[in-house]
Amino acid sequence: MFDFKILKKIGRARTAEYLTPHGVLTTPAFIPVATKATVKTLDSDDVRKIGFNSVLANTYHLMLEPGSGLVKKMGGLHKFMDWQGPIFTDSGGYQVFSLGKGITHNTGKIRKNNLTIGFPTSDSKKSLIKITDNGVEFRSHIDGRKIFLRPEDSIKIQEELGADIIFAFDECTSPYDEKKYVEKSLERTHSWAKHSLLAHKRKDQALFGIVQGGDWRDLREESGKFISALNFHGFGIGGSFGKKEMREVLDWTIPLLPEEKPRHMLGIGVIEDIFDAVERGIDTLDCVEPTRLGRHGTLLSSSGRMRILNGSYKTDKKPIEKNCSCLLCKKYSRAYLHHLFKADEILGMRLATIHNLTFMNGLMADIRKNINNGKFKEFKKKFLKKFI
């Protein structure tokens, strides 16, 4: 039902075909995020037409709304959101982190630049979660009800959602956590990995284990060894990083993972990071970055990021990108998109999202092509030189 076939390697970077119950995913691939069973502003036809055959939905969001039981009753995520290709669901661990350290440490997927040294000054922000060895207690941000999420619950919810690739429940630590805390947390994540494996029954789902361990080499290596020794279909690299640390973590961890199994990088989608992650052996990545940028009027192009509300685009007849085949670039000028954003027209967000995802899809195709023809390094250099 699952088969991961490596096609070509160049250094640690590789292309592969990942067979799933809902079709073949060609990697390295960027996986658009369909948070609540929709890639924000787009319908499934839009996403397919752009060229993607896979999306990642968020367990945390869907368990709260509409609830995994309801999704199951409706025939599972594929049917519910009209998606015929492979679907990933994350474990909910990262969203729980966002409700906890994400708030008290004021951090996110990539560490904020102005807070790189030491522990950020604490303010009145309070964690909304309580972590114990059994799981995490938190309140729904929608209706305030108390929820206790154990690894077994995360797996059950992901089984009900019915994605092809699911993740073990983990704790994501903050770059501002003390090493002692990260050690304790890693123990928990490892215990939860075993619980997740034991709880998982569906044969048509591949369960991925998640490597954690903060920015510490010894902890990351310990985690890489521990998780890769378990009977997972594949692996996720989790964490909240500094920019530099993300690369180090991959350098420390990837060589410890079995070559023949797929590797997913959770929540990474900035162009420069994608190149570095792929170069280090990552097969798939998901991130809200390109879609969120689009909704806020930032367009990706081969020469960098464009803020479409900039006054210089007001009378600009050109498309966002000359040779782009997306709906926006084929039909509309920069001036029209500028107008849509200025006038708060929802269509602007949709067109910008379509463009940014088209850009990502094209980039990943180019990356695969250049791995296959042995020119990845040159391509990366050339691309990033122009992309400023």
Q: By the criterion CB under 8 A, which residues form the site for a copy of itself?
A: 36-38, 40-45, 61, 65-66, 70, 73-75, 80-82, 314-315, 317, 327, 331-333, 335-336, 338-340, 342-343, 345-347, 349-351
**313 contacts 334 by C-beta, under 8 angstroms:** yes
Q: Which of residues 77 and 131 has its CB atom nearest to a copy of itself in the complex?
A: 77
Instruction: Please state the closest distance from residue 55 (CB atom) to a copy of itself, in A.
Output: 13
* 359 contacts: CB under 8 Å, gap ≥ 6: 290, 300, 301, 321, 324, 326
- CA 259, 262, 266, 271 dihedral sign is positive
Q: Which residues of 44-69 are buried (b: 16+ CB within 10 A; e: fewer)?
A: bebbbebebbbbbbbbbbbbbeeebe
The residue among 332 and 359 lying less far from a copy of itself, judged by its C-beta, is 332
CB of 335 to a copy of itself, least distance (A): 5
| Close Cβ partners of 329 (under 8 Å, ≥ 6 residues apart) | 319, 320, 321, 322, 355, 358
* Smallest distance from a copy of itself to CB 181, Å: 34
Tell me which DSSP letter residue 174 carries.
P
Q: Give me the least distance between CB of 342 and a copy of itself, in Å please.
A: 6
Separation of alpha carbons 190 and 201, rounded Å: 19
Instruction: Write down the least CB distance from residue 98 to a copy of itself, Å.
Output: 17
At a CB cut-off of 8 Å and minimum separation 6, what does 7 contact?
Answer: 14, 15, 16, 17, 372
Q: Is 153 a catalytic residue?
A: no
Q: Kindly report the number of other CB atoms within 10 A of residue 132's CB atom.
A: 10
Q: Please tell me which residue in 45, 82, 90, 204 is annotated as part of the active site.
A: 90
Closer residue to a copy of itself in complex, CB, 33/249:
33
Query: Does the annotation mark 164 as catalytic?
Result: no
Compute the distance between CA of residue 135 and CA of residue 17 in angstroms, rounded to an integer.
Answer: 35
Residue 261: DSSP 8-state: S
Which of 299, 317, 295 minimizes the C-alpha distance to 308? 299
Catalytic member of 164, 215, 276, 286: 286
Shorter beta-carbon distance to a copy of itself: residue 80 or 208 = 80
Closest CB to a copy of itself among 44 and 173? 44
Active-site residue set: 90, 286
